[in-house]
Structure 1
Amino acid sequence: MKIGTTHLFVPGPTPVPEVVRRAMNVPMEDHRAPDLPDFVLDLLADLARVFRLREGRVLVYPGSGTGAWEAAITNCLSRGDRVLMSRYGQFSHLWVDMARRLGLDVVCHDVEWGEGVPVEAYAQELRADPSIRAVFVTHNETATGVTSDVRAVRQAMDEAGSDALLFVDGVSSIASLDFRQDEWGVDVAVAGSQKGFMLPAGLAILGLSEKALAAAERSTTERCYLAFRDMITANDVGSFPYTPPMPLLHGLRASLDRLLDEGMDDVVARHHRLAEGVRHGVKAWGLDLCALAPRWYSDTVSAVRLPDGVDGAAVCRIAYHRYRTSFGGGLGKVAGRVFRIGHLGDVNEVSCLSALAAAEMALLDAGVDLEPGSGVAAAQAYFRQALAAEGSRPGPWWSATAGPRLTAVT
C-alpha cells in the first residue's frame, strides 16, 4: 500500500492547486444560461492580461496545445504560403511537421539541440526572401530546456522590412516566463492549459493580434471546428459556438485569479528564482544541462545531461517506482541522454528541493557518481540568499535582523 503523494515534476502536465481542483468540482450546468456571458467575457479579458495583450483577441478552444497550433496555421495562412521555421527540439520538430502536412512551403533551419532560435539565420533569410508570410518560434523548447529570444526575432523581422506574421509557441512559457505579446509584436501566440495555467490538459488557448485577425479573413484554408470567425461571433455575446468544457473554464477562472493576484511580474520572478536553485543543484552534482549556454536556460524545465553509460529512462523509472516521483524522460535526439525536471506552475522553493532530493537518490541508484545531498544543499543556499536579498518574509514571526522569534505553544 502506497502512502502519501506521488510527486509530479514533469514539464507538463503540472500539479493542479487545490483551489483550482475545487473550482472544477461543479455540477453540470446550462452553458446557455443568462448569466454565462458575464462569466465568459470577464474570463477572456483576464486571460488577455496574462498574454499582455491589449489589442486583438484571446480565444479558447477545447483541445491541447497541438490543437492551438493547428488553429493558428489553418486560420491565418493558406496552403502554399512560404513560412520560416527552425528545429532545435522535439516540439519545434513537430510544429514543422504539422506545417508541412497542412500544405505550407516550409523553409526550415536545423539547429543543434541545446541552442534556440537562429536569429541571424532568420534575418538573412528574411532579407533575401520577401515572399515569406510567417515566421515561427518555439519560445520554450520543453525537450531540451531552452528558451529563445522572441523579441530579437521581431527586431530581425522589422530590420528586414518583413511584413510576415510572427507565430510563437508559448505552451510551456506563457503564464510562467516573461511574455509580452503586444510589446514584442507577436501576432499569434499559442498556449495550453496544462502547464503554467495549472490545469488539466483540455484547453487550447490563442492570443491574436489585429494583424492576425485580418489575415484570418483572407486565408483560404478549409476549417470548421477551429474557425476563428465562428468563435469570435459567439464570444462577442459571451458564448461559444459549441458546448464548452465548463468545469475546465471554472478551473481557468480560479487559475487566472491566482496568477493575477500574485502579479505576472512576480510569477516570472518566482520561476526564475526556482530555476536558478535547480541549476545550482545540477551544477553541484557535477552534471551539465542540455542547454548549451546560460542565455538559452529555461526557467520552466531543466534537461539534465547524464554521464555516458547512464540511461535517462532508467533514472525516470527508478524515481517513479522507488521514490514515487515523476520526471520527464528525454525525447527525440536526446532520448536516453537526459532527464528533465519540470519547475513550473504551482511550485515553490520546498517543492523544488524535494525534486532535487528524489533526483539525487534516483541518480545514485542509476550509477551516477555524486555526493549525496550536494544538490539539495546548493539549492538551499541559493534560495536562502535569493529570498533574503528580495526582502522576503517567510511568516509574521520572522525578523530580518534578529532571526526567527519563537513563542511557546500551549
Structure 2
Amino acid sequence: MSGRHHLFIPGPSNLPDRVLRAMDRPTIDHRGPTFRALTFEMQRRLRWVFGCAGPVITYPASGSGAWEAAMVNTLSPGDKVLMCETGQFATLWHDIAGRLGLEAELIAGDWRHGADAEAIGAQLQADTGHTIKAVCVVHNETSTGCTSDIAAVRRAMDAAGHPALLMVDTISSLGSLPYRADDWGVDVTIAGSQKGLMLPPGLSFNAVSPKALAASETAKLPKSYWAWQPMIALNEKGFFPYTPATNTLYGVIEALKMMEEEGLDAIFARHARHAAATRAAAAAWGLELQCADPAQASDVLTTLRVPEGHSADALRATALERFDLSLGNGLGRLADKVFRIGHLGDLNDLSLMSAISGVEMSLGLVGIPHRKGGVLAAMDVLAGAPEAMAERGAA
C-alpha cells in the first residue's frame, strides 16, 4: 500500500525519526571514553523519567527479562510473593515466579479492574509472620486497559506495617502515565524500551531502591546474567559487564531528550486527551470498554469488547487489509473477544484520528453492530468542543 503503515497496537509503539537517526551511527568501542560519557548521560536521564535517585540497571532484554531480574536479585527459593490477577501480563509474571521456585499467591481478579489495594492490605495484615517477601503489581495492564493505583497499594502496605518489597511493572506505563518510584515507595520498578519510551524492543530496566539493594545481599535465587551487583559496579565507571546494545543506548538518550523538551506533565496530558477521545469514540459506537471502572481506564490504550457472536480478530484483519491499520489483539482469555487501540508514545491528534476512522470503517465492513459518530465524538474531544460533546451525549 502507498503511504505509511498505521501502527496502533499498545506497543511496540511508533519510533520518532529523531530516535532512528540517533541510532544510525558507526559502532563505537564500548570500553572507551566516548561510551563512558554515553553511559553517564543515560543514567542521569533515566533516573529523571523513573523518578528515582538510585541506580537504573539496563539489560539487553525484553520486559520478561526485567521481571526475572527483579525477582532473582531480591528473593530466595520458596519465598512467598503476592500478586494481583489484573490481566494477561500479571498472569505471566505470576507464572515466571512459580517457575523460579517462588510461592506465588495470586489475588483473583476479573480482568476488568486494576489491583485491589484493600485486598493486598488485608493479605498483608493477616501475614503476621511476614512470610510474604514481595508484592508485585502491574501498573498498567496492557491486555485489559486498566491502570492500578500504585500510591494506594503503597498506603495499604504501610497501613499493614508490613516489610515486603513493592515491585511494579511499568513496561507499558513509564513515560506515558504519571509515575514516581521514590515518592510512591517502590523498591523495584520494571520497565521496557518499546512503549512510552519510544524505542525499539530489546532493552529492559530495573530501577532499584536502597531496600531492594539490601535484599539483594542475601537473596539466594540463582543468577548470573541478571545479577545487579556487577552491573551497578561497572555502570558507576561508565561501562557494562558484557557487550551492551550500544546503538540503542544512543536512542535512549535521544528519546529522553525529546521527553524532556515536551515535559512530563505535557506528555501525560497528551496521553489523557488521546485516551478521552478514544473513549468518546467507543461510547458513540456503543462498544463496551473492557475496563469496568472509569476511574481506572488507561490513558495508554483502550481495550474494546465486541458483541457476543462477533469476531474481534476479523475486525483487526479487515483494518489491516483495507486500511493498513494494526490494532492490538485480545490476549489469553480475551482472545477474539476484544481489540485494543494503543494511543501511546510518539503520537499526535491527527495520527490518532486515522486509527479511529479506520476502526469505524472496519466495524461497518465486518458487520459488527454499532452506531456511527465515533469519529465526530473523538474530533470534538481533540478540538476542545465540550458543548458539542454534551449535546451528542444527551441525544
**TM-score higher than 0.5:** yes
Do structure 1's residue 128 and structure 2's residue 137 form an aligned pair? no
Q: CA deviation at 1:387?
A: 11
**What does residue 89 of structure 1 align with?**
87
RMSD: 1.3
Q: TM-score, normalised by structure 1?
A: 0.92
Within 5 A, what are the aligned runs for 1:183-222?
A: 183-222=183-222
Equivalent-residue separation in structure 2 for 1:114 and 1:163 (angstroms):
29
Cα contact 1:305–1:337 (8 A) shared by 2: yes
**What does residue 27 of structure 2 align with?**
28
SS at match of 2:172: coil
Q: CA deviation at 1:120?
A: 1.4
Equivalent-residue separation in structure 2 for 1:386 and 1:242 (angstroms):
54
Q: Which amino acid aligns with 2:108?
A: D
**What does residue 73 of structure 1 align with?**
71
Equivalent-residue separation in structure 2 for 1:201 and 1:140 (angstroms):
18
Cα contact 2:286–2:371 (8 A) shared by 1: no
**What does residue 408 of structure 1 align with?**
none
**What does residue 19 of structure 1 align with?**
18
Cα contact 1:273–1:386 (8 A) shared by 2: no
Cα contact 2:287–2:370 (8 A) shared by 1: no
Cα contact 2:307–2:369 (8 A) shared by 1: no
Cα contact 2:56–2:205 (8 A) shared by 1: yes
Cα contact 1:312–1:338 (8 A) shared by 2: yes
SS at match of 2:339: strand
Equivalent-residue separation in structure 1 for 2:88 and 2:190 (angstroms):
17
**What does residue 299 of structure 1 align with?**
299
Counting aligned pairs with the same residue, the percent is 46
**What does residue 323 of structure 2 align with?**
323
Equivalent-residue separation in structure 2 for 1:366 and 1:332 (angstroms):
23
Q: Deviations over 1:304-335 (max 9, x none)?
A: 01112210111111111111000001111111
Q: Which sections of structure 2, spanning at least 5 residues, go unmatched?
A: 388-395
Do structure 1's residue 107 and structure 2's residue 74 form an aligned pair? no
Cα contact 1:62–1:244 (8 A) shared by 2: yes
Q: Deviations over 1:44-98 (max 9, x none)?
A: 11101000112x2111010011110011011111111111111121100000000
SS at match of 2:384: helix
**What does residue 287 of structure 2 align with?**
287
Within 5 A, what are the aligned runs for 1:200-349?
A: 200-349=200-349
SS at match of 1:202: coil
Q: Deviations over 1:144-179 (max 9, x none)?
A: 000001111000000000111000000000111010
Equivalent-residue separation in structure 1 for 2:63 and 2:167 (angstroms):
14
**What does residue 391 of structure 2 align with?**
none
Q: Which amino acid aligns with 1:292?
A: A
Q: TM-score, normalised by structure 2?
A: 0.96
Q: Which amino acid aligns with 1:162?
A: H
Equivalent-residue separation in structure 1 for 2:298 and 2:80 (angstroms):
30
Q: 1:387–1:207: structure 2 CA closer, same or farther, 3 Å change rule?
A: farther
Equivalent-residue separation in structure 2 for 1:65 and 1:264 (angstroms):
22
Cα contact 1:85–1:137 (8 A) shared by 2: yes
Among candidates 116, 119, 129, match of residue 117 of structure 2: 119
Cα contact 2:41–2:253 (8 A) shared by 1: no
Equivalent-residue separation in structure 2 for 1:25 and 1:251 (angstroms):
9
SS at match of 2:60: strand
Equivalent-residue separation in structure 1 for 2:386 and 2:263 (angstroms):
17
Cα contact 1:140–1:173 (8 A) shared by 2: yes
**What does residue 366 of structure 2 align with?**
366
Aligned residues: 385
Cα contact 1:75–1:228 (8 A) shared by 2: yes
Q: 1:356–1:243: structure 2 CA closer, same or farther, 3 Å change rule?
A: same
Q: Which amino acid aligns with 1:49?
A: W
Q: Deviations over 1:374-409 (max 9, x none)?
A: 111101111111799xxxxxxxxxxxxxxxxxxxxx
Q: Which sections of structure 1, spanning at least 5 residues, go unmatched?
A: 389-410
Equivalent-residue separation in structure 2 for 1:142 and 1:181 (angstroms):
20
**What does residue 50 of structure 1 align with?**
49
Q: Deviations over 1:279-316 (max 9, x none)?
A: 11111101111000101200001000111221011111
Larger CA deviation: 305-314 vs 339-348: 305-314
Do structure 1's residue 180 and structure 2's residue 151 form an aligned pair? no
Q: Which amino acid aligns with 2:187?
A: D
